[in-house]
Every structure is written in structure tokens, then in C-alpha cells.
Structure 1
């Protein structure tokens, strides 16, 4: 009789399984997620100093590190490149660890770091292509809207850019652009996981992600909105608290460190959640292999005996 998969995955299930997986080897995952700290620290501090420069008087600006507000462009580029590399290292090692943990293979910290030798370049090429495609899609949409506005002006319409109606139109254009970006992100959400686990690169991970996520786009969208919302709230609150301290260095360290660490954990859970979604998608497409197709379990990373959680269940008659 034909095997019928149970389409029972929800965002609650993904988060629950992600938390169980992380708790199975909490120290291991937290150690790997330290690669996220430069990014999270930057997300907390950069808005703080930028807003402070706008809102505070010159008396407060002497509290900044020397030349902080006037770094040369090359310094900013190197800083962004460093953040990008560390972030990709975190994604690659956490993905490798979690994926191989599903098969019960013991993964050590050194093994996860060594995996960068063969997973980093596919991940880099895939993420760069993904960002370029999103940029081109956004630019094409904006050029299309701009051409329509220009055409209307050429045929005689007078457009007052200060009118409230034009402001509403601009807000509508931005909202549509956000929806378009979210749509492609939902379809390509598994691209980074595929680049690491299947050693694919370029367009192939994007196309395969679109194939695997069919039927579970609602879960992918829910995960995206969930982590963007809570991550955004965390950054906003910690930045606001940091501003309230008046940039006193003795007080600034607390909201910055607190926000950086908790945002690091949010990113960790989001990466593991994406891998749970990836494994479930593979199960629904019959790609897990007969030995684990009926019941996929996540094992302790350092033990072949201890079962942590059931992630995918496929009903078989």
C-alpha cells in the first residue's frame, strides 16, 4: 500500500525540536555560536552609536572611541567582511553538527571546525549569489516603478512629491517590495543548509530549496517572521536601554553584552530550526533512506545510545 506522509509539522514543532537538539549538547552549540558574537555585537552597538550621534549633543560625543565616527571606507569594508566570514563560519559549523547528529554520528568541536574546509566555499558562493539575486530583483522592481512614474509625468500628469498621496504610494511600493523579498526568502530558506550538507553551490541549492519547501512554505514563513520579530525586538530594546544610559561606558556594557548573547542564541535556534525543516522536507519527499524513513530521531552528539527527540514521522502501511 502506498506510503502517506503526515504533514504535521508546525512552527511550534520546529521550535520544540530545535530546543531539544540544542539542549542535547548545549555547550557544544553555544561554543559554535560564538562565531555569531561579532555580528550580534555590531547589531546592538551600531544603531546605538548612530542614534547617539544624532540625538546627543557634542558633550556626549567625546565618549566615543577616537575616530570611531570617521573611519576610512576601507576599515568599514574590512569590518563588514570580518562579520560576514564569522557569520558564515557559524552557519556552516552549526549546520554540519546538527545534520550529522541526526544519523547518530558523534560530532566533536574539532570535527565541526574542520568541516569548514569543504563547506565554507559552497556556502560563500551560494550566499553571495542569493544576495545578488535579491538585489537584482529589488532593483528591477524599483526601476519598473520609477519608469511608470516617469511615463506618467511624460504624458502630462503632475506629481507633487510632497503630497500625502505620493507618500502613501511610496509606502505601498516599499510594502510590495518587502513582500517580494519575503517570498523569495521563503522559497530559498534551505539554500544554505543544502550548500553545507550536499556540497552544492550556486543556483543549484536555490532551485533545490524551492523544490523541497513546497507544501511547507507556511512553516518557513512563520519561522522567518518569528525570528525577525523577536530578534528585532531584542535589538530595539537593548539599543534603547544603551541610549538611556547616556553612553556611560560602565553602564553601556550591560545592555550590549546581554543583547549580544541573547541575540546569538536566537540566531542559533533559527539555524537549527532551518535544519529541522530541511530534514522534514526530505522526509516528505522520500529522500531519507528506508532505514530512517519511518522514524527519524536525533541522537546525542557524543553518544550512539541516547535518543533525544523524534523529528519526522512518516506513516507506513
Structure 2
């Protein structure tokens, strides 16, 4: 029987083991990041600057006519936003699949080369896509249920004679309560589905099956999952803020803006790399805590992490599993 979750198993443990894996095989993971995550980070970093430049150069937007015109945003702005959103989405799934594949198969001592990690995205992309769609469908359904509940409650209140206009304190209070409950439910679901992406890559589960599998693995580990999500969420928020103000910092020759874009893009790429790898490490811990790692593997590597075959002997102690009779 597997031992319960050890007291030291927390956010710091996961981040430390993630750093050890990446540092031990830095060239492999950096190469994958440059191929898949760098386009994502550049797109996210450059878009605010491009958006500001296009708006400042657009004669309609800079005139009073824009505020009275019934036309929507300029077509080239919409096309730019859609193109970058598609690029970010596709390459994010590519990067997630390749990094997860490398960390997971390397943990079991299986040969993992750069080309095999790149080729793995052909199999994992559509599985990850199906899981993302399933996740968003549930989120949408949850939001629709909350909206329907709000509509029904408003109808009941109006039937008993309470004013429920938009400026009414009753409506504002009810809306705040429903919004808070909805956010808490979505947060709970998101924490439960922390490992859904990893499951879609390394197990024969995808879509709703991957969501259920992730929820099962996260039992007893939701605190670590929440900490991980908050940590990388804060990092992403800070980097997003830096990207949004980079346009304001550019010098006359644009050199300061170039430095800001390059710096932010590099850091965003590293955050994406560490987030994908950390989720895979958390998946390993969850399997170990739930006693799903084979006994022979646990006995062979109980005190030592198996090294990745493409970079020998540098990553100790990622997962240690104890068994009692």
C-alpha cells in the first residue's frame, strides 16, 4: 500500500523537482521551447504594441467620428487578433504535448530524443484539442446554469413586488453573490482538471475521460494544484502587465521597446516551459501517492530518479515511493 502524501509535498517541492529536470536536460527543453513556446511568447508580448500602433495610426479611431460610427473595429485589427489567437492556441498545445512527453517518458527511462518529442505532437494535438473543447463546454454550461438561475430568481423577486432594475441594490447584491459562487465553482473545476492535459498526452484518455481521470488523481492534492495554478497565474499576470506597458516605454528609436519585447518574450517562454513541466511532475507525484506506480519500478528507483537517456545521470529524487506491507 502506498504511503500517504508526505508533509514536504507542496508547491516548493514540485517547483524544485521541475527545476532539477529542466536544468539537467536544459538543451533538450530549451530547444522544444524555442520551437513551440517562443512563437507564443512573442505573439503575446508584441500584440499590445502592434495594437497600440495600429490604433494610433488609424485616422477613424483618432477622430471623433469613431465614437459616433456604427462600424465595429477595423477589419485588420480583428484579423490580427484572430491570427495571433490561433497561433498561440495551436503552438501552446504543441509545446504542452512535447514537454509532457519528454518529462514523462524520461522518468520511466525510455529513450526520448528531440525529434521523437516533436513527432509526438502529431498524436497528442487532437487529444489535447478534444480535452480543451470538453473543458470549455462544461465551463460554458456552468455559466449558462448560473445565468438561468439569476434570471429565475429575478423573476421570482419581481413577482413578489421587489424592483429589480439594473441599478437596484437587490439586483447588484444578487449579481455579486451569483458571480462569486460561479467563480468558485469554475476555480474548483479548474483545480480538479489541472492534470487533464498531461493525462491526454500520456494515457489513453482524452476529452471528458481525461477530465474525470484528472479529478481522480487530484484527490488529496488539490491544495498543491491550487498553489501551482496561482503561482503561474500571478507570473503570467505580471508579465502581461509588463507587455501592455512596453509601448509606453519605447524610445524615439524604438530600442527600448525592442529590449522590453525580447526580455518579456524570453521570460514568458520560460514560464510556459516550467508550467508544462511542473504539471507533469505533479502528475508523477499524484500517481505515486495513489499507489499507481508499479511495484518493481518503485523498488528499483525508490531513492533515485531515473535519468533521461539523452543526458545521463543528473536528476535525482523526483518521486520516491514508499511501500509498507
Shorter-chain-normalised TM-score: which range? 0.7 to 0.9
The Cα of 1:85 is off from its aligned counterpart by 1.2
Q: Superposition pairs for residues 109-258 of structure 1, below 5 Å?
A: 109-162=114-167, 167=172, 169-245=174-250, 249-258=254-263
1:300 maps to which of 288, 308, 314: 308
CA distance in 2, matches of 1:235, 1:309: 34
Deviation of the 1:6 alpha carbon: 4.3
Report deviation, 1:51: 6.5
Residue 33 in structure 1 maps to residue 33 in structure 2: yes
| Bigger share in strand | 1
Q: Give the C-alpha shift of residue 315 in structure 1.
A: 2.4
Question: Hey, what does 1:7 align to over in structure 2?
Answer: 6
Conservation of the 8 A alpha-carbon contact between 1:108 and 1:302: yes
Equivalent-residue separation in structure 1 for 2:151 and 2:248 (angstroms): 38
Q: Per the alignment, do residues 279 and 307 of structure 1 end up closer, same or farther by CA in structure 2, a change over 3 Å counting?
A: same
Q: Would you identify which runs of 4 or more consecutive aligned residues in structure 1 move more than 6 Å?
A: 51-54, 56-59
Write the distance in 1 (CA, Å) between the matches of 2:187 and 2:306.
Answer: 30
Q: TM-score w.r.t. structure 2 length?
A: 0.84
CA contact (8 A) 1:96 1:115 kept: yes
CA apart distance, 1:316: 2.8
Q: Does 1:20 align with 2:25?
A: no
Distance 1:204 1:43, change over 3 A: same
- Structure 2 unaligned residues grouped into runs of 5+: 63-72
1:30 offset after TM fit, Å?
A: 1.5
Question: Match of 1:309?
Answer: 316
Q: CA deviation at 1:13?
A: 0.2
Q: Distance in 1 between matches of 2:183 and 2:291?
A: 33
Deviation of the 1:41 alpha carbon: 2.7
Over 3 Å counting, the alpha-carbon distance change for 1:301 and 1:163 in structure 2 is: farther
1:284 corresponds, among 283, 289, 301, to 289
1:32–1:93 Cα contact (<8 Å) kept:
yes
1:240 deviates by 2.0
Taking the aligned partners of 1:71 and 1:167, their CA distance within structure 2 comes to 38
Separation in structure 2 between the aligned mates of residue 255 and residue 118 of structure 1, nearest angstrom: 36
TM-score by length of 1: 0.86
